[in-house]
Structure 1
């Protein structure tokens, strides 16, 4: 199956040129002219990489990047209108994988995209047979980020996998949303604690209540209840 690219860019001419090059490279390409539509497409499509402009209407690139990182480890290439070191550092801090400054050669952007996707595919190929956790129909492997439900592999974004592992390693303990954010998202995370609830909701939808013995602790957080 061809890799899918989401271009979030408000300048139509730039979007068209990028799309033409990427389609010639064999990618499936989706387009959005503002941050709001970009997030909507991202949440409804299976996207492998996002090309994300910073200066966008409705929701800017920084906001879009943060919201994507709350739920997914999908590759993100930020597009900056100027070669400012602070912009590039901020992009990396909030989760961008690479950046490119305008004006740029589309061939350079395509080379970056191919390199990032190749590196990610290579890392996915590393297998670790050690079982971290087995419960009901669920099996979770340690470093290969492999999750199986009824022996069928389930694709979990990095944050969902990290959250699942954090619950597993702290079975039967009440964990506050603040604790979870600090350990899974990092102490520098600037979003709200609803990111935890959103990620839990997505995990439940993918794994099912039977395989995810997770109980809400009202006004506090969650407890992963496993019979001992």
Structure 2
């Protein structure tokens, strides 16, 4: 597909976090399911992908010839107000450069949030706590979803520490809570919340946070919290740990 007729002034954007959506100038555009999968795959790769690989991943249960035909049909049907969104070079497919992808923005945020000169944006917590294409079960999503799970957890904890260092304990709580909601068994996130509750002068809330984590850890994994988090609440619990 040629990109000469594309209209970047319409600002096409693809959302992958908390569900798929294609929009042009913030107006959502209907996309058939197979075209959604094609756009999502190319958006995740963020680099040209060979036609053969795309066809095999989108239609794994058919022959290479049929998969190639299905890919051609999908590309032909993928028309938008902004013009073509997919370009072809050397038998490879890629999104045209002017398509904005929220996942790319989130990845950049996750990579830079711990930098000393980074100034967190107001939507940082919401962006980092969002799931990648929830409800999709495609095998080509597994590696990206696992990577995003770990990357956003580290970024949320770093963001919480950054907010706390600037005295913004409200947003520090939000970021740490988002990390706990993303992975309820992640002790470092629970420990951060306990520390924040103690810093706020809320020892009862700190104990409730610790107790909730301890019960869940015992129930799901048969394990006990580390000595590090127990030391935080030890003086509040007396002999009970």
TM-score normalised to the size of structure 2?
Answer: 0.24
TM-score normalised to the size of structure 1?
Answer: 0.25
The structure whose RCO (Cα within 8 Å, separation 6+) is larger is 2
Higher percent of residues as strand:
1
Q: Which has the larger radius of gyration?
A: 2
